[in-house]
Amino acid sequence: MFDIAPLVTDPAAWAALVTLIVMEVVLGIDNLIFISILSNKLPPEHRSRVRRIGISLALIMRLALLSTIAWIVTLTAPVFSVMGNAFSWKDMILIAGGLFLVWKATKEIHHTVDPTPSKDLLEKDKKDVVINNAGAAIFQIILLDLVFSVDSILTAVGMTEHLPIMVIAVLVAITVMLVAADPLGDFIDKNPTVVMLALGFLLMIGMVLIAEGFGAHVPKGYIYAAMAFSAGVEALNMWSRRSSAKKTAAEEALLARAQADQAEVKAQQAEAKAAREEP
């Protein structure tokens, strides 16, 4: 499990590595969306730092969980049963994380559509509580990092038995998250409609986590296909809005130019009239 030398020349190991890297990157999207949404509630000068802290904590948690694989595997063992349904520690973690995501996404959607001022700790204009804001954001990121880390590592354990492959896949996935964090956060911040779409994603992911915690398995492919379709529709909407804005700007520029030309013609006519009236 820990010897890496035989894996270098094993095609099956390379195939498992590529597959696991793709899976870890896809699973990291959920984590990254939450971190981006939460960090964008902070003043601009603190956002990048909080994103990097959140992603670094995700890496630390994943590596720590990988170092205790024997214990991680036991998380899937039933702990108690309710009305014939067995619940493990993994189920309880997923349910708790799902409930937190549903609560957080619902709260953020309410703040987005509610025109009245909010007294939330993560209000952008409260410069006197910036440190508390960052601390609150990091605390919430830690909670979700734990949920996504458990899900990520259990997925890795189910796909391969080789620890080096798991570690490399996790490192690559976290590196991708670090590279994509600021561009994604800035993109979400500059496009308000994307914020609502991302919150909808978090709401859906939270419900999926709750469903899986109760034993109702939802294929991840359907979830990410729905997210990709929604993102594609939103991209078309953004393209349409930009085209409309460019068309409007061009029409306004033409109108302004026509008005300027008319003003210039009137000025020339006035000068010519004044020249004729001179003795």
- Quick: pLDDT tens for 121-176: 444 444 444 445 677 888 888 888 888 887 777 777 766 667 777 888 888 888 88
pLDDT of the residue at 121:
43
For tokens 């170092």, the residue is 67
Q: In whole angstroms, what is the distance from residue 53 CA to residue 49 CA? A: 6
Mean pLDDT, the chain, whole residue set: 78
Question: Which letter does DSSP use for residue 41 in this model?
Answer: T
Locate the domains of the chain by residue range. 5-218, 219-279
Do 205 and 101 form a contact (C-beta atoms < 8 A)? yes
Classify strands 78-82 and 85-88 as parallel, antiparallel or unpaired: antiparallel
pLDDT of the residue at 13:
72
What predicted TM-score, i.e. pTM, was given to this entire model?
A: 0.63
pLDDT of the residue at 125:
45
If we measure between CA atoms, which residue out of 7, 22, 14, 5 comes closest to residue 172? 22
Question: Which letter does DSSP use for residue 67 in this model?
Answer: T
Q: Which residues contact 173 (CB under 8 A, 6 or more apart)?
A: 21, 24, 25, 27, 28, 152
- Residues found in the chain: 279
For tokens 């296909």, the residue is 225
Q: Which residues contact 147 (CB under 8 A, 6 or more apart)?
A: 93, 94, 96, 97, 98, 100, 209
User: pLDDT band for position 116 (50/70/90)?
Assistant: low
Average pLDDT over residues 9-34: 76
Other C-beta atoms closer than 10 Å to the C-beta of 206 total 25
The string over 243-271, giving b where at least 16 C-beta atoms fall within 10 Å of a residue's C-beta and e elsewhere, is: eeeeeeeeeeeeeeeeeeeeeeeeeeeee
Whether residue 189 has pLDDT greater than 60: yes
Decide which of 3 and 230 is more confident: 230
pLDDT of the residue at 5:
57
Give 44-85 pLDDT, tens digit per residue.
888 888 888 888 888 888 888 877 766 777 777 888 888 778
Q: In whole angstroms, what is the distance from residue 100 CA to residue 34 CA? A: 11
Among left, alpha and beta (phi > 0; psi -120 to 50; other), residue 114 is beta
pLDDT of the residue at 64:
84
Give 218-253 pLDDT, tens digit per residue.
777 777 788 788 888 888 888 888 888 888 888 888
